[in-house]
Amino acid sequence: MRVVIADDDGITRQILRNLLIEAGHTVVGEAKNGQDVVDACQAHQPDVLYLDINMPMVSGFEALPQIRQACPTAHVVMISASSTLENVRQAAKLGVGGFLVKPFTPAKVLASLPKTKA
């Protein structure tokens, strides 16, 4: 699957990139803020998007409507160190396909991928 990773933390992006590449997926883009992720989705049309909630400029939640417009079929997995009930509910309300809590394990990352190509 073609994947875009959006997280303001470079180490998190690197860990996700390495896990996904090892699992046979292609990381087609990365972003460190909410505006860049919209641009990356428009440019790369990913099958899967890992989207951090708390990012500079525009949050993941704020960017999601534009992302959905640019990539309506992308499987979105929200990422956050804060798994508050409010965050989980908002993610579900916005129709995301999964929620990863930092720190995450390789098994949880791979389990968050869709079973078939989006």
E-strand stretches of the chain: 2-6, 26-31, 48-52, 75-80, 98-101
* φ and ψ of 3, to 5 deg: -125, 140
Residue 118: the pLDDT is 44
Q: Which CATH architecture has domain 2-111?
A: 3-Layer(aba) Sandwich (3.40)
Q: How many CB atoms lie within 10 A of CB 109?
A: 19
pTM above 0.85, yes or no: yes
- What are 36's two structure tokens? 């860049």
In this predicted model, what pLDDT tens digit does every residue of 68-115 receive, in sequence order? 999 999 999 999 998 788 998 999 898 899 999 999 999 999 999 998
Question: pLDDT per residue over 24-64, tens digit each?
Answer: 999 999 999 999 999 999 999 999 999 999 999 999 999 99
